[in-house]
A and B are shown apart, each in its own frame.
Chain A
Amino acid sequence: MGREKDVVESLCMTPRIERLKSRALVKERFVSIEQAKIITKCYQEHEGEPVEKKRALSFREACRKMEIAIDPDELIVGNRTKEPRAGVIFPEGGLTWVEKEIDTLATRKQDRFTVRPEDRECFFNEILEYWRGRTLEDRVEEEAGEEISAIGSVVKINQTDHAQGHICPNSHTWLEKGPAKLREEAEEKKKMESSPEKKLFYECVALCMEGAMDFMLRYADLAEKMAEQCEGEQKEGLLKAAENCRNLARRPARGYHEALQSVWFLFVLLHMESNASSFSPGRMDQTLLPYFEESVKEGMTLEQALELTECLWLKFNQVVYLRNEMGARYFAGFPIGFNLAVGGQHTDGSDASNILSFLFLKAQSHIRLPQPNLSVRLHKNTPKDLLRAVTKVIALGGGMPQIFNDESIIPALERQGVSHEDAMDYAIVGCVELTTQGNNLGWSDAAMFNMVKALELALNNGICMMTGKQMGPQTGYLTDFNSFEKFEEAFKKQVDYFIDKMMPVTRIVDHLHAEVLPSAFLSSVIDDCMENGTDVTAGGAKYNFSGIQLIQVANIADSLAALKTLVFDEKRISRQRLLEALKNDFEGEENIRKMLLERAPKYGNDIDWVDQLAVKWHKYFAERLETFRNVRGGRVQTGLYTVSAHVPMGLNIAATPDGRKAGSPLADGGVSAVYGRDKFGPTALLNSVSKLHSELGSNGTLLNMKFLPEFFETEEGIDNFCAILQTIVELKINHCQINVVRKEDLLAAKENPEQFSGLTIRVAGYTAFFVELADDLQDEIIARTAFGGE
């Protein structure tokens, strides 16, 4: 493989890819209501049918009717809307929010979309009314709306107005069978089955596969038609694409080009069925290797393989996702989550990296767009040349690949009841959520738990300092506690109260997904659903988890450390004075705020007793969650990541004892230190992070680090960075992602966005265009600590 790697290293982008890439950059995005019209019509025509069948029929109809387009340079074709990067309005998820927000979509702070006047009219005249009371959003509101808003200041319940996504389909199954074979299997099983529910399930799968086959054939026809108008390499490419589509509609994939096309169709179709975030390809360097090898035997060059790969990389950027305004703030800049992992180990523990791992890294270094969300699995025997290749791509900026650690993640998954074999084959969905491949509805984004808000309530007898409302139980005021331990008791009561309120709501939402959004197409590529005739939303998968994010350990540790030292131990600040200062956002009390900031030690500096406060409360939370079961019978796991929620969640929190002003962002990432407060360099930060129990973060954890580009300029710098990666592995830290950027460049991009439209930045488990992020999120990213300078 050594010589091949050198060849890969030397490859350049082809003119075709350069043309495609130049057209991929940010353009105006539009709302699309085409599928909404098709779905609405289909539901109206089949009013008496069960919801499963209405969903399958409208999916088939969308495959047959949605307008399609091909760029004449494309070698991999297909998209879920005719225009790339459209925001699809999807009625079964929710329309009430669209009704409220349709006129601000074009001007809102984050993730803007233009609405064409005729589409707006159609939405109000033909679509909206039919769906009242039928959508997931409306059903959730009806069954749990009051509970959700009662706990809303602490708990954000997710997936209330769209399908779940966050799943890694079994690409092997799809590649090895294709829609034709899956349809045949579904028909056969339907014949043999006696249970009416299961018969219905198989019928729906078959309907979906009919749609999938027709979808592919339509692309074949279009490509052929376009080829007539083209010449040279475009004509050749279109004819090949047409042939591939035609083949894939009737038989499994053969060779690398077909396999890439097949994988892309799978993800387009999943998005069309669910309109959800984070369908993830998983370990594609493993899945596609046999297809790659087959093509190499037949004469495919590495240059051709790279060009094909890069065509797929560009396609991954054509799907974005329309969220409501609040959702767009929590998940800013389209973390659509085509998470693709390279490296890792085989089941027997040997290193699994192969030539495709290197080829994918090379593609990443050329394309450098937000998608795919490229991840690399490292372990203690990861070869040095892979570490170096990874480092060189990270050094380019853009935050990819992000690092995952087999040494801590595999034991964490096994602890949650995952088999050794499945744990060894883990992948990542969305941003950083850990999953087994092809058999797991992880529901990893069930809710976010704002523990810092719970801390605010514990200081103030359960009363919100921002609004004066009683939100939590009455557990006393800071002035009532004569010891730190007594304060911690009150804090525990607040946390318990909100956990106990949150869990029943997550069960309701989960259950409503099965009722409103059964997903036969998705189920066909998730293990055990086809075997059992059970939809994935109804618990048909082999594994069924739910994940709740704890937010945010750094602010918790810093706040508790300040209380302990300055208020309870040294008594430099009286309880009364601190409580008043917090309520007044330090107005007239800058001394107090400075003291909290400067005279109390902070998480992220390898100070054991402070770090242990983070450890303690993470452990407490995670172990409480483990006592619950979700509605699909699965376990509830804890995640430590925010996506971009640390900004909006901070808006909702009064001043905190860590010296944070009211409304300002929480720490970024999930296990990162508060921006700028980690002062002893990356190794100290890593040590602090490593004290958290990685096995209690099995839903995924997120560590942000920022390095200056200068650090990577010398061979020694690259070697040192490889050593940092190995240190992360040995310290058993689940995840890390690295931005390589200068503060000055970010400030310049903020000033002159038009000159920096291509600048990508790691936000939290995903990469976005920096200039597309709202101001406050941009500022938070600028404020993060940078390592590697003088």
Chain B
Amino acid sequence: MSEKGLVFDIKRFAVHDGKGIRTTVFLKGCPLRCAWCHNPEGMVNKRKVWWVQKNCIGCGNCIRSCSREALRAEPEGIHRVEERCIGCGACVDVCPAGAMRWDSSWMTVEEVMEILRRDRIAYEKSGGGITVSGGEPTGEQAGFALALLAECKKEGFRTSIESSLYTNPEVLEQFEEVVDDFIVDIKIFDSRRHKEAAGVDNQLILDNIWDLASRHALLIRTPMIPGYTSDLANIQAIGEFVKKLPNARMELLNFNPLYSQKYHYQGREPVCPQAEKLSNEEMEQRRQILERMGISVVR
């Protein structure tokens, strides 16, 4: 298998992406454009350069190395002109401080597997395994994701995907062959609001969930984003849908204010206003709404 995937992170010791201790592989490319996206580098399926301000020592090597004048020194740091960059990587090579870096790497299935195998003992002892996330595993890189997951099954690893399920049902069927546990998102139930916040309509997502739930146990997650998803009406509406599913649990993920750092690496401002985490009481209130509907909520 020499096909390469564009991987933007491989997180070992992931303990929030399914049961046990896992390694999560993040693939680039996502059809959604959520305003609050916590992994913005996963949106576009293209290898890009990041500028990590805290590492930068202001030596100017990167600016001198750029043949396209895509980099400029400005008072707040290195400014990148996205349209000029041809992705040659000269700036990454000359940066002594690791401040200019690729946001992702092209890897073969075997190269990824070599890393996944390293934590075999921890998976076995904890009931964990491999999670493929994104971006969107069922999106532009679905072929690579399927090949990777098939290899994981061959090795005897338990597999899961974290997906928006905004994908063609036929593609989803192929994933069913190689995925043990599905972790899927319902971010906003109201279709219009969903389209506004995430850029796409949610009908396809809900249809896929409905269909998949008839054959698989699902963990359905809702991120708590103030101003977008965390209002009680949204929780209530999602609950009404989920409670009809035959075998689904829910988990509410609290907002993580640290997410904005990644936007700065990309030279962008975070779209979502600087919001606070929900308090424990607020989280608890929302969980109880779901539990009162008879839904099992992961704590």
Which residues of A does B touch, CB under 8 Å?
Answer: 590-592, 594-595, 598-599, 606, 680-684, 687, 711, 714, 716-717, 719-720, 722-724, 726-727, 730-731, 787-788, 790
- The dominant DSSP class at the A interface is helix
Known: A598-B98, A730-B125. A714 touches B299 (CB 8 A): yes
B126 touches A684 (CB 8 A): no
Contact with A along B127-139 (1 / 0, CB 8 A): 1100000000000
A591 touches B96 (CB 8 A): yes
A727 touches B16 (CB 8 A): no
Measured CB to CB, the nearest residue on chain A to B11 is A681
Contact with A along B69-85 (1 / 0, CB 8 A): 00000000000000000
For residues 7 through 26 of chain B, which have their beta carbon under 8 Å from a beta carbon of chain A? 11-13, 15-16, 19-21
B1 at interface by CB-CB < 8 Å: no
Chain B residues whose CB sits within 8 angstroms of the CB of A788 once the complex forms = 15
A717 touches B15 (CB 8 A): yes
Beyond known contacts A680-B12, A720-B15: 11 more, CB 8 A cutoff:
A591-B57, A591-B96, A683-B12, A716-B19, A719-B126, A722-B125, A723-B126, A724-B21, A724-B125, A788-B15, A790-B256
Among the interface residues B11, B55, B126, which one has the most CB atoms of the partner chain A within 10 A?
B126
Chain A residues whose CB sits within 8 angstroms of the CB of B59 once the complex forms = 591
B97 touches A595 (CB 8 A): yes
A683 touches B119 (CB 8 A): yes
Chain B residues whose CB sits within 8 angstroms of the CB of A723 once the complex forms = 20-21, 122, 125-128
Q: Tell me how far the C-beta of B3 lies from the nearest C-beta in chain A, rounded to whole angstroms.
A: 25
Chain B residues whose CB sits within 8 angstroms of the CB of A720 once the complex forms = 15, 20-21, 126, 128
Among the interface residues B13, B98, B118, B256, which one has the most CB atoms of the partner chain A within 10 A?
B13
B232 at interface by CB-CB < 8 Å: no
User: Complex: how many Å from CA A678 to CA B97?
Assistant: 17
B125 touches A598 (CB 8 A): no
From the candidates A591, A598, A716, A790, name the one contacting B55 in the complex (CB within 8 A).
A598
Among the interface residues A714, A720, A724, which one has the most CB atoms of the partner chain B within 10 A?
A720
Q: Tell me how far the C-beta of B16 lies from the nearest C-beta in chain A, rounded to whole angstroms.
A: 7
B121 at interface by CB-CB < 8 Å: yes
B118 touches A594 (CB 8 A): no
Q: Which 5 A-B pairs have the closest CB atoms?
A: A598-B98, A723-B126, A681-B13, A723-B125, A595-B96
B118 touches A684 (CB 8 A): yes
B21 touches A790 (CB 8 A): no
A790 touches B96 (CB 8 A): no
A-B contact pairs, 29 of them (CB 8 A): A591-B97, A594-B96, A595-B96, A595-B97, A598-B55, A598-B98, A599-B98, A606-B118, A680-B12, A680-B13, A682-B13, A683-B21, A714-B299, A716-B15, A717-B15, A720-B20, A720-B21, A720-B126, A723-B20, A723-B122, A724-B122, A724-B125, A724-B126, A726-B125, A727-B122, A730-B125, A787-B13, A788-B15, A790-B258
Chain B residues whose CB sits within 8 angstroms of the CB of A717 once the complex forms = 15
Known: A595-B96, A599-B98, A683-B119. A590 touches B126 (CB 8 A): no
User: Complex: how many Å from CA A591 to CA B19?
Assistant: 43
User: Complex: how many Å from CA A731 to CA B119?
Assistant: 11
Known: A592-B96, A720-B21, A724-B21. A730 touches B121 (CB 8 A): yes
Q: Tell me how far the C-beta of B283 lies from the nearest C-beta in chain A, rounded to whole angstroms.
A: 13
Measured CB to CB, the nearest residue on chain B to A730 is B121
B15 touches A731 (CB 8 A): no
Chain A residues whose CB sits within 8 angstroms of the CB of B256 once the complex forms = 790
Chain B residues whose CB sits within 8 angstroms of the CB of A598 once the complex forms = 55, 96-98
User: Complex: how many Å from CA A463 to CA B13?
Assistant: 44
For residues 245 through 296 of chain B, which have their beta carbon under 8 Å from a beta carbon of chain A? 256, 258
Q: Tell me how far the C-beta of B180 lies from the nearest C-beta in chain A, rounded to whole angstroms.
A: 17
User: Complex: how many Å from CA A591 to CA B99?
Assistant: 12
Q: How many A-B residue pairs have CB under 8 A?
A: 74
Chain A residues whose CB sits within 8 angstroms of the CB of B55 once the complex forms = 594, 598
B118 touches A687 (CB 8 A): yes
Chain A residues whose CB sits within 8 angstroms of the CB of B96 once the complex forms = 591-592, 594-595, 598-599
Chain A residues whose CB sits within 8 angstroms of the CB of B57 once the complex forms = 590-591, 594
User: Complex: how many Å from CA A787 to CA B16?
Assistant: 13
User: Complex: how many Å from CA A72 to CA B256?
Assistant: 53
Chain B residues whose CB sits within 8 angstroms of the CB of A722 once the complex forms = 125
Q: Tell me how far the C-beta of A100 lies from the nearest C-beta in chain B, rounded to whole angstroms.
A: 45
B13 touches A790 (CB 8 A): no
Chain A residues whose CB sits within 8 angstroms of the CB of B16 once the complex forms = 790
B97 touches A594 (CB 8 A): yes
A731 touches B121 (CB 8 A): yes
Contact with A along B181-217 (1 / 0, CB 8 A): 0000000000000000000000000000000000000
Known: A594-B57, A726-B125. A684 touches B21 (CB 8 A): no
From the candidates B12, B97, B98, B121, name the one contacting A727 in the complex (CB within 8 A).
B121
Among the interface residues A681, A731, A787, which one has the most CB atoms of the partner chain B within 10 A?
A681
B118 touches A683 (CB 8 A): yes
User: Complex: how many Å from CA A724 to CA B123?
Assistant: 10
Measured CB to CB, the nearest residue on chain B to A685 is B13
User: Complex: how many Å from CA A684 to CA B98?
Assistant: 21
Measured CB to CB, the nearest residue on chain A to B38 is A790
User: Complex: how many Å from CA A599 to CA B95?
Assistant: 9
Chain A residues whose CB sits within 8 angstroms of the CB of B126 once the complex forms = 719-720, 723-724
Contact with A along B20-37 (1 / 0, CB 8 A): 110000000000000000
From the candidates A590, A681, A716, name the one contacting B12 in the complex (CB within 8 A).
A681
Contact with A along B117-160 (1 / 0, CB 8 A): 01101100111100000000000000000000000000000000
Measured CB to CB, the nearest residue on chain B to A591 is B96
Measured CB to CB, the nearest residue on chain B to A608 is B118
Measured CB to CB, the nearest residue on chain B to A594 is B97
Measured CB to CB, the nearest residue on chain A to B119 is A683
Chain B residues whose CB sits within 8 angstroms of the CB of A714 once the complex forms = 299
Measured CB to CB, the nearest residue on chain B to A714 is B299
Measured CB to CB, the nearest residue on chain B to A788 is B15
Q: Tell me how far the C-beta of A548 lies from the nearest C-beta in chain B, rounded to whole angstroms.
A: 31
B122 touches A683 (CB 8 A): yes
User: Complex: how many Å from CA A606 to CA B12?
Assistant: 11
Chain B residues whose CB sits within 8 angstroms of the CB of A711 once the complex forms = 15
Chain A residues whose CB sits within 8 angstroms of the CB of B97 once the complex forms = 591, 594-595, 598
Q: Tell me how far the C-beta of B240 lies from the nearest C-beta in chain A, rounded to whole angstroms.
A: 27
Chain B residues whose CB sits within 8 angstroms of the CB of A592 once the complex forms = 96
Measured CB to CB, the nearest residue on chain B to A715 is B299
Q: Tell me how far the C-beta of B108 lies from the nearest C-beta in chain A, rounded to whole angstroms.
A: 18
User: Complex: how many Å from CA A722 to CA B20?
Assistant: 11
Among the interface residues B96, B126, B256, which one has the most CB atoms of the partner chain A within 10 A?
B96
Q: Tell me how far the C-beta of A276 lies from the nearest C-beta in chain B, rounded to whole angstroms.
A: 40
User: Complex: how many Å from CA A727 to CA B125?
Assistant: 7
Chain B residues whose CB sits within 8 angstroms of the CB of A719 once the complex forms = 20, 126
User: Complex: how many Å from CA A724 to CA B12?
Assistant: 13
User: Complex: how many Å from CA A708 to CA B254?
Assistant: 18
Q: Tell me how far the C-beta of A714 lies from the nearest C-beta in chain B, rounded to whole angstroms.
A: 7
User: Complex: how many Å from CA A671 to CA B127?
Assistant: 28
Q: Tell me how far the C-beta of B39 lies from the nearest C-beta in chain A, rounded to whole angstroms.
A: 13
User: Complex: how many Å from CA A595 to CA B97?
Assistant: 5
Chain B residues whose CB sits within 8 angstroms of the CB of A681 once the complex forms = 11-13
Q: Tell me how far the C-beta of B153 lies from the nearest C-beta in chain A, rounded to whole angstroms.
A: 21
Q: Tell me how far the C-beta of B293 lies from the nearest C-beta in chain A, rounded to whole angstroms.
A: 22
